[in-house]
Amino acid sequence: MTGMLKTDLCIRLGIDHPVVLAPMAGSTNATLVAAVGNAGGLGSHGCAAVPPDRLGAETAAIRAATNRPFNLNFFVHRTPVADPGREKALQARLQPFFDELDLGPVPSAAAPFPPFGTTHLEALLADPPPIVSFHFGLPGADTLAPLKAKGCLNVSSATTVAQARWLEEHGADVIVAQGAEAGGHRGTFLNDDYASAMIGTLALVPQIVDAVDMPVVAAGGIADGRGLAAALALGAQAVQMGTAFLQTDESPIDSSYRTALSDAEGERTQVTKVFSGRPARGIRNRYLEQMADVEHDLPDFPLPYGMNGALRKAATERGIADFPSFWAGQAVALARPEAAAALVERIVDEAQAVIAGLSG
């Protein structure tokens, strides 16, 4: 039987275990969110690319599958500024890849999704989720206030102590301390000094715990009960795991992504801007390696994502591992295929055994 590691944050969120399924745009769905919620963790759905008029249906699908709390996540990046020179240069670089897959001309730059805005807010207010989380900062007080008035808790990620303090001052209720080990996009904001916002989870979590007066969730490189026990020892009140959940039975990722994950070791992952224009950790493949020289000359996030979208999609459909963005963190090799509920229960049991072993 799965025991209890209930923290104050678990009580506040209404969950049984201090385990959060990371929101993963494109890689979470209602089934996975509900499976984690029903197992007593917190399910999060990455909604950055969900059109606002689909949000109601996504929320309804989650509610139909669970009556437990859940979290919807959005990107609050700056609206990209056009840069015709960089866009033309990227088009020229992508054309040989497009030719290789017979995809015709590379499209001109267009954002594949907008930042969180008024239409998203209206959709959320129509059927408010218990928890709303943001990546790359927080929306303004005029957005947070109506959400809070509806009872939504606001969460965002920090990769430095300065970002955590900023989030506390600007209305976050919970902070995710995202270490450099994490898969997917770095939540870094406030400046573009991405290279230095690469603090490891072990160093970052206790510094953020000391700096802010609110619950902290540890993220990055945590994939088993040892990681959960360590995060609790560092002062975190829960862990947020992405990479570990990607390999669960309910995860909606395709088979080439699953294969890439199961074949990868931690050193095969790398933080790169080449897919989207913002730094994110993924498994090295041909696109990641061959585009490395344009890393610092890309159009604004998320324009590159729009421009290479057809390439990533076609490669995925044809099972070609050279071009998709296989986001994954450094703990990728710790994860294994299993049901999401089994993962939640296993890491809680393992963490309890670790903690008991230490005190014994």
CB 306 within 8 A of CB 112: yes
Q: Which one among 77, 135, 273, 278 touches ligand FMN, defined by CB under 6 A? A: 135
Total chain residues near ligand FMN (CB under 6 A): 30
At residue 35, the 3 state secondary structure works out as helix
Structure tokens at 328: 């994954």
Q: C-alpha angle with apex 178: 203 to 206, nearest 5 degrees?
A: 35
Q: In this chain, which stretch among 51-59, 90-98, 164-172, 176-184 interacts with ligand FMN, using CB under 6 A? A: 176-184
Write out the DSSP string of 256-311. Answer: HHHHHHHH--GGGEEEESTTTSS-EEEE--HHHHHTGGGTTSPPSTTHHHHHTHHH
Query: Which residue type is seen at 276?
Result: S
Nearest to 305 by CA among 103, 28, 94: 94
What are the φ/ψ torsions at residue 171 (nearest 5 degrees)?
Answer: 105, 10
Phi-psi domain of 104 (left: phi exceeds 0; alpha: psi -120 through 50; beta: other): left
Q: Does 22 bind ligand FMN (CB under 6 A)?
A: yes
Q: In this chain, which stretch among 54-62, 216-224, 258-266, 283-291 interacts with ligand FMN, using CB under 6 A? A: 216-224
At residue 185, the 3 state secondary structure works out as strand
Nearest to 346 by CA among 69, 43, 67, 39: 39
Q: Does 97 bind ligand FMN (CB under 6 A)?
A: no
Q: Does 188 bind ligand FMN (CB under 6 A)?
A: no
Q: Toward ligand FMN, which CB reaches closer, 157 or 285?
A: 157
Q: Toward ligand FMN, which CB reaches closer, 41 or 329?
A: 329
Q: Does 240 bind ligand FMN (CB under 6 A)?
A: yes
Q: Does 225 bind ligand FMN (CB under 6 A)?
A: no
Q: Does 178 bind ligand FMN (CB under 6 A)?
A: yes
Cα–Cα dist 269/266, whole Å: 6
Q: In this chain, which stretch among 1-9, 81-89, 175-183, 350-358 interacts with ligand FMN, using CB under 6 A? A: 175-183
Nearest to 174 by CA among 209, 123, 147, 140: 209
Structure tokens at 279: 């730094």
Q: Which one among 154, 243, 285, 316 touches ligand FMN, defined by CB under 6 A? A: 243
Q: Toward ligand FMN, which CB reaches closer, 86 or 308?
A: 308
Q: Which one among 29, 31, 71, 157 touches ligand FMN, defined by CB under 6 A? A: 157
Could you say which DSSP state residue 216 is in? E
Per-residue x/- track, 244-283, ligand FMN (CB under 6 A): x-x-------------------------------------
Nearest to 332 by CA among 215, 275, 217, 253: 253
Q: Does 41 bind ligand FMN (CB under 6 A)?
A: no
Per-residue x/- track, 62-81, ligand FMN (CB under 6 A): -----------x--------
Q: Does 43 bind ligand FMN (CB under 6 A)?
A: no
What are the φ/ψ torsions at residue 175 (nearest 5 degrees)?
Answer: -120, 130
**302: cis peptide before it, omega within 30°?**
yes
CA torsion angle 122 123 127 133 (round to 10)? -90
Least distance from C-beta 100 to ligand FMN, angstroms?
A: 25
Q: In this chain, which stretch among 118-126, 161-169, 237-245, 306-314 interacts with ligand FMN, using CB under 6 A? A: 237-245
Q: Toward ligand FMN, which CB reaches closer, 106 or 242?
A: 242
Least distance from C-beta 257 to ligand FMN, angstroms?
A: 9
Q: In this chain, which stretch among 95-103, 140-148, 214-222, 311-319 interacts with ligand FMN, using CB under 6 A? A: 214-222
Which residues contribute to the site for ligand FMN (CB under 6 A)?
Answer: 22-25, 27, 46, 48, 73, 135, 157, 178, 181-185, 219-222, 240-244, 246, 327-329, 331
